[in-house]
């Protein structure tokens, strides 16, 4: 029985030992990872003083920006179409060709259009002749002829009347029948009618043409003239000329194809599209940032095809009305490049940075210096260490108090006991608000002392120091224990207990020009 159990016991012991070795190996790996994390954290900062990560106040550039995406597009785009539905005879350019205003681009066959011009011309000539005839009135020959016609009609009337009188007597004497008498009576009536007609014609020629007839003839001339102009315009529309200097970007058709009048493409565009050589950027800025944008601001942008080159331009116009994209209000901001860069092509996407304000060669500190100072002083209070605030106007917790740019400049000298003032606050434009805050400065004994500073512009990583620090000052931006805890164990309670902020930290009294230890 014991021999039977002995192999199972050996297997169990082997398994337990294997698990112990695995656990030990896993623990060693965790320690190595923690050590490497701490090493790289320390390595990423320039200075380490005791348990603190430090950096120096140095000069640099701080820029406030708006980031947006955009697209390169031509300043002008012209869509050209034929006026008539005719067969295309020739196309003289191709996509990509540079063209100038007035250049012939394409033309159609004009047989039908030429015939329409000829017909309209003939109609105008006929109506013009009629108008001139009415305006000139009757000639002397016409008057003489009309007078002769009156005399002949009068003679016929007199003869018919005499004949009727004679046959009337014969009828009364019973020599002729009633039917014969009626015939001669009818002849008289006809002769009388022709006489009146001849007299009226003579009077009309003598009086001239009526104004109404002349106006009607003039209207016919105007109508014929308009028809001729339309026919001539149609004929001229068979040739397509360029209206701007630019580049041919699209041709929707070919020789031998019938162009559709005024809309020569199935996509709704013209037969040919010409874009200007001058390009611009159209970017979209959301409603949260549009209030910071203004015409004339400097812009930097990159193209996906040239990611390592930065192009520059200026904001030329801002759309007054937003467009809604995925429930977000976006405003079109148009940007004029500083030059017509050869790298730019219409349709290229861009990454746009609109520069709101930029200060160069100014003192800067990392943003972590302000946030760590706030945490440092907050933990001191939680630990019961009294902190007496000075009269500089900033809160002792390192929190930020915003004020107007120019009013801040007047009061910043009170906290500038070391004489540093790299920016004349009172003379700078009020394009931003200064910030009063507290940072930790390493003193001669190697301990941090809270100090009031005045901050200006800020970007993603740095603050501009308007007042309160000198170039080369050492400031605290973090602690080793805090960084290791954050990167290895997520700030667990066991790591926080080792932080010097909660283990008998020295008492510090904040003053206007520095700090003293108690």
Q: pTM of the predicted model, to two decimals?
A: 0.56
Count the residues in the chain.
518
The domain of 385 spans 46-59+361-517
Q: Please give the chain's pLDDT, 518 residues, in tens.
A: 445 444 455 555 655 565 556 566 666 776 766 656 555 444 444 455 568 899 999 999 998 889 999 999 999 999 999 988 899 999 999 999 999 999 999 999 999 999 999 999 999 999 898 888 777 766 777 777 878 888 888 888 888 888 888 888 888 877 888 888 888 888 889 988 988 888 888 777 666 667 787 888 889 999 999 999 999 999 999 999 999 999 999 999 899 988 877 655 444 468 999 999 999 999 999 998 899 899 999 999 999 889 899 999 999 999 999 999 888 899 999 999 999 899 999 999 999 999 988 899 999 999 999 999 888 888 888 887 766 443 333 333 344 444 444 333 333 333 333 334 343 333 333 456 788 999 999 887 778 889 999 998 888 889 999 999 999 999 999 887 654 444 434 433 333 333 333 333 333 333 333 333 33
Count of structural domains, the chain? 4
Say if residue 210 is in the same domain as residue 323. no
Q: Which of 331, 359, 387 corresponds to the end of one domain? A: 359
Q: With helix as H, strand as E and coil as C, how does 103-127 read?
A: CEEEEECCHHHHHHHHHHHHHHHHH
Say if residue 244 is in the same domain as residue 200. no
Say if residue 95 is in the same domain as residue 207. no
**Would 505 be classed as within a structural domain?**
yes
Say if residue 326 is in the same domain as residue 382. no
Rounded Cα distance between 260 and 83, Å, is 8
Q: What is the pLDDT of residue 175?
A: 80
Q: What is the pLDDT of residue 415?
A: 35
**Would 6 be classed as within a structural domain?**
no
Which CATH number characterizes residue 139's domain?
A: 1.10.287.470
Give the up-direction half-sphere exposure of residue 143: CA atoms within 13 A in the CB hemisphere: 9
Rounded Cα distance between 341 and 306, Å, is 12
Q: What is the pLDDT of residue 435?
A: 85
Q: Which of 212, 233, 254 corresponds to the end of one domain? A: 233
Distances (CA, A) of 440 to 56, 69, 294, 372, 378: 11, 39, 37, 8, 13
Say if residue 460 is in the same domain as residue 494. yes
Which CATH number characterizes residue 88's domain?
A: 2.40.50.100
Q: Where are the alpha helices (DSSP H) in 330-385?
A: 367-382
**Would 284 be classed as within a structural domain?**
yes
278-312 pLDDT, tens digit each:
999 999 999 988 998 999 999 999 998 898 999 99
Rounded Cα distance between 146 and 206, Å, is 10
Say if residue 349 is in the same domain as residue 390. no
| Exposure letters 129-162 (e unless 16+ CB within 10 A, then b) | eebeebeeebeeeeeeebbebbeebeebbeebee
**Would 144 be classed as within a structural domain?**
yes
**Would 5 be classed as within a structural domain?**
no
Q: What is the pLDDT of residue 147?
A: 82
Say if residue 279 is in the same domain as residue 257. no
**Would 40 be classed as within a structural domain?**
no
CB 64 within 8 A of CB 357: yes
**Would 473 be classed as within a structural domain?**
yes
Q: Which of 359, 387, 419 corresponds to the end of one domain? A: 359
Q: Report how far Cα 453 is from the mean position of its chain's Cα atoms.
A: 42
Distances (CA, A) of 322 to 77, 259, 282: 22, 38, 13
Q: What is the pLDDT of residue 393?
A: 37
Say if residue 290 is in the same domain as residue 318. yes
Say if residue 426 is in the same domain as residue 459. yes
Query: What 3-state DSSP class applies to 222?
Result: helix
**Would 336 be classed as within a structural domain?**
yes
CB 350 within 8 A of CB 70: yes
461-473 pLDDT, tens digit each:
899 999 999 999 9
Say if residue 397 is in the same domain as residue 367. yes
Say if residue 94 is in the same domain as residue 216. no
CB 350 within 8 A of CB 281: yes
Say if residue 511 is in the same domain as residue 432. yes
CB 265 within 8 A of CB 252: yes
Residue among 284, 266, 231 nearest 73 (CA): 284
Which CATH number characterizes residue 323's domain?
A: 2.40.30.170
């Amino acid at each position: 029985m014991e021999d039977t159990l002995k192999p199972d016991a050996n297997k169990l012991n082997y398994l337990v030992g294997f698990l112990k070795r695995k656990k030990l190996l896993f623990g060693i790996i965790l320690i190595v990872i923690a050590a490497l994390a701490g090493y790289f954290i320390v390595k990423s900062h320039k200075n380490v003083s005791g348990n603190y990560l430090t950096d120096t106040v140095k000069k640099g550039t701080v820029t406030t920006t708006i980031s947006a995406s955009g697209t390169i597009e031509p300043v002008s785009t012209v869509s050209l179409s034929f006026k008539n539905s005719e067969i295309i005879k020739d196309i003289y350019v191709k996509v990509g060709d540079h063209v100038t205003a007035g250049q012939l681009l394409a033309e159609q066959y004009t047989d039908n259009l030429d015939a329409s011009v000829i017909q309209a011309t003939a109609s105008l000539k006929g109506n013009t002749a009629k108008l001139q005839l009415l305006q000139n009135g009757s000639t002397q020959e016409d008057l003489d002829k009309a007078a002769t016609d009156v005399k002949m009609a009068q003679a016929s009337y007199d003869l018919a009347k005499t004949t009727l009188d004679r046959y009337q007597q014969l009828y009364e004497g019973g020599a002729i029948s009633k039917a014969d008498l009626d015939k001669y009576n009818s002849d008289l009536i006809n002769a009388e009618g022709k006489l009146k007609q001849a007299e009226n014609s003579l009077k009309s020629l003598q009086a001239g043409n009526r104004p109404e007839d002349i106006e009607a003839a003039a209207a016919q001339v105007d109508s014929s003239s308009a028809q001729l102009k339309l026919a001539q315009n149609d004929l001229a529309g068979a040739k397509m000329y360029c209206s701007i200097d630019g580049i041919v970007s699209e041709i929707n058709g070919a020789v031998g194809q019938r162009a559709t009048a005024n809309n020569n493409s199935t996509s709704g565009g013209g037969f040919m599209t010409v874009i200007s050589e001058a390009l611009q950027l159209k970017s979209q800025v959301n409603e949260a940032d549009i209030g910071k944008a203004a015409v004339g601001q400097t812009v930097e942008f990159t193209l996906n095809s040239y990611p390592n080159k930065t192009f520059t331009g200026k904001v030329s116009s801002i759309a007054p009305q937003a467009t809604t994209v995925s429930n977000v209000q976006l405003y079109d901001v148009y940007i004029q490049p500083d030059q017509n860069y050869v790298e730019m092509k219409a349709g290229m996407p861009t990454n746009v940075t609109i520069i709101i304000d930029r200060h160069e060669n100014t003192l800067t500190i990392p943003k972590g210096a302000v946030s760590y100072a706030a945490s440092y002083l907050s933990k001191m209070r939680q630990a019961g260490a009294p902190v007496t605030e000075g009269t500089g106007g900033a809160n002792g917790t390192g929190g930020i108090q915003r004020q107007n740019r120019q009013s801040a400049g007047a009061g910043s000298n009170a906290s500038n006991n070391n004489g540093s003032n790299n920016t004349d606050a009172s003379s700078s434009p009020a394009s931003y608000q200064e910030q009063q805050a507290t940072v930790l400065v390493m003193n001669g004994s190697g301990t941090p002392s809270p100090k009031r500073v005045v901050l200006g512009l800020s970007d993603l990583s740095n603050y501009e120091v308007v007042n309160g620090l000198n170039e080369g000052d050492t400031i605290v931006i973090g602690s080793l224990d805090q960084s290791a805890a954050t990167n290895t164990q997520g700030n667990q309670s066991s790591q926080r207990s080792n932080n010097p902020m909660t283990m008998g930290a020295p008492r510090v009294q904040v003053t206007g020009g520095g700090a003293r230890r108690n």
